[in-house]
Amino acid sequence: MQNYAQVARDFVERHATGLTVAVFAGVLALRRWLAGGVCRSKVRLDGKTVLITGANTGIGKETAHGYGARVILACRDITRARIAADEIRLRSGNGNVVVKKLDLASLQSVRDLAKEVQENEDRLDILINNAGIMMCPKWTTEDGFEMQFGVNHLGHFLLTNCLLDLLKKSTPSRVVIVSSLAHEKGHIHFDDINLDKDYKREGSYRQSKLANVLFCRELAARLQGTGVTAYSLRHLFPTLALWKKSIIMPFLMMIKSPWEGAQTTIYCAVDESVANDSGLYYSDCAPKTAAPQALDDAAAKKLWDLSASMVGLA
């Protein structure tokens, strides 16, 4: 009588190398699939300046090391930003990394940072609106706006507008807006933009991410012919189904490195192939059709006007 366990053991022993290779290949394929596209641009950014909101070391490292840019990390938490800056310097050997204070939940802080940058920087080639707050309770910004819309959209809306002159002086230049797949289920509540009547953290997040895509669209339209182009994107995880299964999130985090998570952002920020495109939405280092409500030009314009009046730009 054959013992099945023994047969299995024999099989594993005999085919150990093959099995190891197969498991390895499987893990690599899974990693590859989760990683999405990779930016293969060989462009150099020496002498150019990139401003990134939020202490994203993946984007910072890549732009500083891979492309040689001067990198400004604009962050609320200076301690965290300094740690990120040190890590970027260490890994990249590029000492040209600076930290500046920016609290996107405060219009005053946004204006202060923009003024500081305008006064002290010769140029701004790439602005990456990367910082974001996700699914928080019903909090409000310093100026009384609902927090997710205030930080993810309004703060960046004001920051971008305040830095436009410097971007226009540095053409060709780019504005990269990090949105999310969550925009697909988003809805702009024009009649209750702060969601006072019915606050849901997911709905608020989706509204703010839809606002990111609409902002990019209207910004691109307004900047046509100026040499400043705009891009919105989603990054990180390939499908919402996976995203929803929060139990596997830590696992995804582990195998999807910050470098991989930053690839579409890097692609939109530096890749030559998109130099003449503007106003589009990207995923996995390729253009992707955004949700129908994100392609609505009238809504994009309406959102711009509303945002401008909210932040006092109108």
- For ligand NAG, the binding residues (CB under 6 A) are 272-273, 275-276
For the beta sheet containing 228-234, the strands, ordered from the edge strand earlier in sequence to the opposite edge, are 97-101, 70-75, 49-53, 126-129, 173-178, 228-234, 280-283, 286-287
Half-sphere exposure at residue 101, Cβ-oriented, CA atoms within 13 angstroms: 7
Tokens coding 254: 């582990």
Query: Containing H/E element for 111?
Result: helix 107-120
Helix (H) or strand (E) segment spanning residue 169: helix 156-169
Task: Look at strands 286-287 and 280-283 and give their pairing.
Answer: antiparallel
Q: How far is the CB of 274 from ligand NAG (least distance, A)?
A: 7
Q: Considering the complex, state which of residue 119 and residue 272 has its C-beta at the smaller distance from ligand NAG.
A: 272
Of 41, 36, 37, 60, give the one whose Cα is nearest residue 271.
Answer: 41
CB nearer to ligand NAG: pick between 180 and 264: 264
Q: Residue 282 Cβ, how far from ligand NAG at the closest point, in Å? A: 15
| Of 3 and 276, CB closest to ligand NAG | 276
CB closer to ligand NAG out of 266 and 299: 266
Q: Is-contact 65 59, C-beta < 8 A?
A: no
Residue least distant from ligand NAG (Cβ): 276
Nearest to 60 by CA among 271, 265, 274: 265
Q: How far is the CB of 285 from ligand NAG (least distance, A)?
A: 15
How far apart are alpha carbons 209 and 216 in whole angstroms?
Answer: 11
Q: Closest approach of Cβ 225 to ligand NAG, in Å? A: 12
Closest distance to ligand NAG from the beta carbon of 271 (Å): 9
Give catalytic residues, as residue numbers.
205
Of 204 and 229, which CB lies nearer to ligand NAG in the complex structure?
229
Tally of CB atoms within 10 A around 281: 23
Cβ atoms within 10 Å, residue 114: 22
